[in-house]
Amino acid sequence: MVFGGTSGIGLAAVKRLAALGAEVVAISRDPNKATDLPDGVSTMACDVLDREAMETVLTSCGPIDILVSSATGGSRSIGPFIDMDMDGFQGSFDKLWGYANVVRYGTHHLADDGTIVLVSGSPASRTKAGQTSLGAVGAAVEQMARAVAPEIAPKRLNVVSPGIIDTPINPLEGEARDNAYRSATAGNLIPRAGTADEVAHAIVFAIENEFMTGNVIDVDGGWLLA
């Protein structure tokens, strides 16, 4: 089951898992908007902040081997913290609450050798100007994973932390989009935006590697070293 599986990183994970032969359910708030899903992938509607709906979805799918969540849960607030709208800052943590729901309720439906992968972000480890909310939420997600992993063992829980990734969450188009990514990644060791599939590759690695739990995999183009 992939929450946030109809767009961006989640959709890329769905495609990789389906190509490996997994029976995949892609979940989002409005799966009717989904395009480019592989044949055989089913969809379900669920808001990760709706606990009752999540329990219904999880129960209907029976025992689960793999849980992935890249669902943001809501909007994000970016900019200088001292000028930030605090409702926006608080709303940024919907990502954490959504992930917490996936782990809290999903674990009970997970096979004994099952695995969960969440998606945080590079600001969790290196927060640049204007990224206070992103850094705070991402760090909370990663620490939650470290804390919960020992509780649910032998079930596994890992996190993939992407840098700047070209996904539909960016509303810019054309030259403006290219320039924004070029500027944002100019100082990186790999000076370009990553792709959703490059992040999905790391998600699949975390799923397949049975000697990993409570870990964070950075897929950031050298963000942390720049």
**Residue ranges of the domains in the chain?**
2-219
d(CA 18, CA 21): 5
35 or 17, which is more confident? 17
pTM of the entire predicted model: 0.94
Output the pLDDT for position 34. 83
> Helix, strand, or coil here: 105?
helix
Paired tokens of 68: 């992935």
Q: Is the preceding omega at residue 154 within 30 degrees of 0, hence cis?
A: yes
Tell me the pLDDT tens digit for each residue of 92-132.
899 999 999 999 999 999 999 999 999 999 999 999 888 99
Tell me the pLDDT tens digit for each residue of 199-215.
999 999 999 999 999 99
Q: Which CATH class is domain 2-219?
A: alpha beta
Could you tell me which residues come within 8 angstroms of residue 104 by beta carbon, excluding any fewer than 6 positions away?
Answer: none
Contact 26, 34 (CB under 8 A): yes
Give the dihedral of Cα atoms 207, 209, 213, 218; nearest 10 deg: -80
Tell me the Ramachandran region of residue 114: left when phi exceeds 0, alpha when psi lies from -120 to 50, beta otherwise. beta
